C-alpha cells in the first residue's frame, strides 16, 4: 500500500472517530465551537442544527463565566533543602601499638593473654637476662669500690695526707663506675617487654623459647576507648566541614544502632586524583561495641536553603512544565514553578509563590486563568516549616 493510500485511510479513521465523539458527547459541539470550528461544520458532524450548537455553546459559556468553580486549597509553607553527604569510612583505634622488644635474645616468658586489659608500664614478656644481671652486679660492685675510695681520699685530704689531685682522680673514677652501672641497669631493663599504653592485648605473635630481635612483633595493644573514623568527602564541602561538627554514624556490623561522633580533623589538601578531601571523626566507645577495622556509614548534615513548600496535589503539568493554581483576589492565577525536591508530604518549588499563599489542590480540571473560585480551605493540610 502506497503512502498516499495509508494517509487517506488514517484521515478517514480520524474523521469517523471525530463524528462518533461529536454525536455521543453532548458537550462536544460546544468544545469544537470554542476551538474555532465553524458552526456549520459542527452541526454537520454532530448531526444537529445551528440551534443545538448555539445552545451547547451558550451553556458552556454560562458555565465558564457564570457560577464560580468550587475548589479546595491549602496553604503554602516553607522548608529547607537538607544538604547532606553520606560516605563509607574505616575505623581505627584511637591508639594502636605493635610492641617489639628493645633488645634481642630468647623469649623466656609471655605474661599476658589475648584480650587482656593492660595499663602502661605493665610487664608483658621477659627475655633471658642472666648475662645482663651479672654485668649489672659487676658494675654495682665497681661503683661501690670507687665510692669508698673517694670517701677515703676525702679524709686523707682533710688530714693533709693526700693531694687534691688524687681526690679529683678518685671522683672521676667513681663517676665512670656510676655510668657503667647505669648502662648495665638499662641493658637489664631492656630484657623486659613493657606495655607502652593502656589498652587491650591482641594476638600473641611470639611464643616462649622463640629467638626475637628488635623487629619481632610480640603483641599488639589497641586503645579502644575511642574509635577514629576516616572517610573522604567531595571537595565542594571542604569549606563547610569544621572541627567538632556532629556526625551520624552507623556501623555495618551493628545495624540499627545509631552512633554519635564529631569531626576531629579535616585534611589540609584536596586529593587531585579523586577531588575529595579526607575527614577524620572520633567516636566514643565506652561500652566497647566497636572494633578497629570496622566499616561505618557516616552522614554529615549542612543547613540548606529555604524554599516554598506546596502540597503534592497542587503541582500540575503542561507541555511547558510544572505549574500551580494560586488564589489571587478570589480568582485562579496560573503560576509556573520549578521543582527542587520531592518529599513524602510536600514539594519544594521556586516561582512566584511564597509562604502563606493559597494554592488549589482539588477541583483543578475546570480552572482557567482568572476563573472565579468558590474556596474551601483544607484546614487539615500542614503548613510546612522545615529547618
Q: Is residue 112 part of a domain?
A: no
Q: Which three cell numbers stand for residue 203?
A: 594476638
Domain limits for position 276: 87-92+220-302
Q: Report the CATH number at residue 255.
A: 2.40.30.170
Q: Is residue 171 part of a domain?
A: yes
Q: What is the b/e burial string over 77-96, where b = at least 16 CB atoms within 10 angstroms of the residue's CB?
A: bbbbbeeebebebebbbbbb
Dihedral of alpha carbons 360, 362, 368, 372, sign: negative
Can you tell me the distance from the alpha carbon of 120 to that of 151, in angstroms, rounded to the nearest whole number? 41
Domain final residue, candidates 302, 332, 351? 302
pLDDT band at 366 (very low <50, low <70, confident <90, very high): confident
Q: What is the b/e burial string over 140-161, where b = at least 16 CB atoms within 10 angstroms of the residue's CB?
A: bebbeebbebbeebeeebeeee
Q: Which three cell numbers stand for residue 17?
A: 472517530
Q: Are residues 160 and 230 in the same domain?
A: no
Q: Mean per-residue pLDDT for 200-207? A: 92
Q: What is the pLDDT of residue 169?
A: 92
Residue 30 in this model has a pLDDT that exceeds 70: no
Q: Which has the minimum average pLDDT: 185-194, 361-370, 378-387?
A: 378-387
Measuring CA to CA, which residue among 41, 36, 39, 40 is closest to residue 15? 41
Q: Are residues 293 and 360 in the same domain?
A: no
Global pTM? 0.56
The whole-chain average pLDDT of the chain stands at 84
pLDDT band at 29 (very low <50, low <70, confident <90, very high): low
Domains of the chain: total: 4
Q: Which pairs from 242-248 meet CB under 8 Å and 24+ separation?
A: 242/266, 245/300, 247/281, 247/298, 247/299, 247/300, 248/298, 248/299, 248/301
Q: What are phi and psi of 157, to 5 degrees?
A: -65, -40
Q: Are residues 293 and 330 in the same domain?
A: no
Dihedral of alpha carbons 56, 60, 61, 63, sign: positive
Q: Are residues 31 and 54 in the same domain?
A: yes
Angle between helix 130-158 and 164-189 (nearest 10): 160
Are 72 and 275 contacting, i.e. CB atoms less than 8 angstroms apart? no
Q: Report the CATH number at residue 153.
A: 1.10.287.470
Residue 138 in this model has a pLDDT that exceeds 80: yes
Domain final residue, candidates 272, 302, 332? 302
Q: Is residue 150 part of a domain?
A: yes
More confident site: 42 or 8: 8
Q: Is residue 107 part of a domain?
A: no
The 10s digit of each residue's pLDDT in 207-255 is: 999 999 999 999 999 999 999 999 999 888 888 888 999 999 999 888 8
Amino acid at each position: 500500500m502506497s503512502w498516499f493510500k495509508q494517509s487517506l485511510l488514517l484521515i478517514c479513521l480520524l474523521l469517523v472517530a471525530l463524528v462518533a465523539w461529536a454525536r455521543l458527547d453532548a458537550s462536544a459541539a460546544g468544545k469544537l465551537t470554542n476551538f474555532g470550528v465553524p458552526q456549520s461544520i459542527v452541526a454537520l458532524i454532530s448531526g444537529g442544527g445551528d440551534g443545538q450548537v448555539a445552545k451547547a455553546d451558550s451553556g458552556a459559556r454560562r458555565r465558564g463565566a457564570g457560577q464560580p468553580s468550587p475548589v479546595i486549597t491549602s496553604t503554602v509553607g516553607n522548608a529547607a533543602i537538607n544538604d547532606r553527604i553520606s560516605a563509607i569510612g574505616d575505623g581505627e583505634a584511637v591508639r594502636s601499638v605493635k610492641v617489639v622488644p628493645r633488645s634481642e635474645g630468647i623469649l623466656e616468658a609471655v605474661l599476658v593473654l589475648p584480650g587482656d586489659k593492660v595499663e602502661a608500664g605493665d610487664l608483658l614478656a621477659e627475655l633471658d637476662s642472666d648475662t645482663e644481671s651479672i654485668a649489672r652486679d659487676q658494675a654495682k660492685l665497681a661503683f661501690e669500690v670507687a665510692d669508698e675510695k673517694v670517701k677515703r681520699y676525702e679524709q686523707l685530704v682533710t688530714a693533709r695526707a693526700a693531694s687534691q689531685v688524687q681526690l679529683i682522680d678518685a671522683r672521676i673514677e667513681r663517676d665512670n663506675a656510676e655510668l657503667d652501672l647505669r648502662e648495665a641497669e638499662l641493658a637489664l631493663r631492656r630484657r623486659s617487654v613493657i606495655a607502652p599504653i593502656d589498652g587491650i592485648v591482641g594476638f600473641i605473635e611470639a611464643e616462649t623459647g622463640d629467638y626475637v630481635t628488635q623487629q619481632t612483633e610480640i603483641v599488639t595493644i589497641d586503645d579502644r576507648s575511642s574509635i577514629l573514623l576516616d572517610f573522604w568527602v567531595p571537595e565542594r564541602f571542604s569549606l563547610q566541614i569544621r572541627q567538632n561538627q556532629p556526625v551520624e554514624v552507623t556501623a555495618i556490623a551493628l545495624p540499627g544502632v545509631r552512633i554519635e561522633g564529631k569531626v576531629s580533623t579535616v585534611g589540609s589538601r584536596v586529593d587531585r586524583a579523586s577531588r575529595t578531601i579526607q575527614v577524620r571523626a572520633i567516636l566514643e566507645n565506652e561500652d566497647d561495641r566497636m572494633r578497629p577495622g570496622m566499616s561505618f556509614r557516616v552522614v554529615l548534615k549542612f543547613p540548606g536553603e529555604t524554599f516554598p513548600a506546596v502540597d503534592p496535589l497542587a503541582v500540575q503539568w503542561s507541555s511547558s512544565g510544572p505549574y500551580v493554581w494560586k488564589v489571587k483576589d478570589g480568582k485562579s492565577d496560573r503560576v509556573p514553578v520549578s521543582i527542587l525536591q520531592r518529599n513524602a508530604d510536600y514539594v519544594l518549588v521556586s516561582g512566584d509563590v511564597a509562604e502563606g499563599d493559597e494554592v488549589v489542590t482539588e477541583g483543578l480540571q475546570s480552572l482557567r486563568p482568572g476563573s472565579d473560585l468558590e474556596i474551601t480551605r483544607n484546614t487539615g493540610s500542614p503548613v510546612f516549616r522545615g529547618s
